[in-house]
Amino acid sequence: MNSSLVPRSYYSVAPEPGPNILDNLLGYGVAAGDAINGFAYNQAPGSIGRVLLGADRNTQMGLERGLGKLGSMVPGVAKNSAFRFASSAPVRQALRVVPGLSAAGALLSAGDIVLGDDSIGNKAMDTAAMGIGGFLGAAGGPIGIAAGASLGKAVSDGAQWLFGDKKTPEQRKMELALQQLQGGGMF
């Protein structure tokens, strides 16, 4: 359409562009990142706070090396390309969240075992899977142990769902209540 023939105000919904919500969100994200960086870099070198907030350089270099090694194992990917990708700025920024997410995943998995209403057998299987995952992840240090434990719990939960009756404890309670209502008796 020729803009000289039809005024823009005839076909434009918002003739004056307003603030872009994505730009605002990006600004909030950058401000939050700056605040976290300021806090993280004020922590003592090697402290758990600095490690979990992604500000410990040794931990970050280990994650970059691990990602580079993993990438170089992919068929068709050259070793130098994998390591160059792993050390690129966007990937380094993304890797900063790995330690905190690994620890959070392990804590949530352990909390699910302790506080969940699963059977003792399910809890034992989840605990064993977390132990095996943590052992296998031990090559990656504490971050690898936490990530391995949470992945082990996820595999255990997936196996229980796949090979189990595919019902949640709430569904089992509802079925029992329905049977009691229909049968008129107590179980």
- Amino acid present at 8: R
Least confident of 7-11, 64-68, 82-86, 165-169: 7-11
User: What are the pLDDT digits (tens) for 18-66?
Assistant: 667 777 777 787 787 788 878 888 888 888 888 888 888 888 888 899 8
CA 50 vs CA 28, 97, 149: distances in Å: 22, 12, 22
The whole-model pTM stands at 0.66
Report the alpha-carbon distance of residue 87 to residue 65 in Å, rounded.
8
Residue 48, CA atoms < 13 Å, CB-side half-sphere: 3
Same-domain check for residues 123 and 136:
yes
On whether both 135 and 165 belong to a single domain, the answer is yes
Q: Domains in the chain: how many in total?
A: 2
Whether residue 74 lies inside any domain: the answer is: yes
In a domain, 176, yes or no: no
Are residues 83 and 113 located together in one domain of the fold? no
Question: Residue 70: is its pLDDT beyond 60?
Answer: yes
- Do 56 and 113 lie in a common domain? no
End position of a domain, from candidates 32, 62, 95? 95
Residues 83, 102 within the same domain: no
64 plus 107 within the same structural domain:
no
Domain that holds residue 65: 21-95
pLDDT the model gives residue 37: 79
Tell me the per-residue pLDDT of 106-157, one tens digit each, with 9 for 90 and over: 999 999 999 988 888 889 999 999 999 999 988 888 888 999 999 999 999 9
Instruction: Based on the fold, state whether residues 87 and 111 are members of the same structural domain.
Output: no
Would residue 30 count as lying in a domain? yes
DSSP structure class, residue 13: S
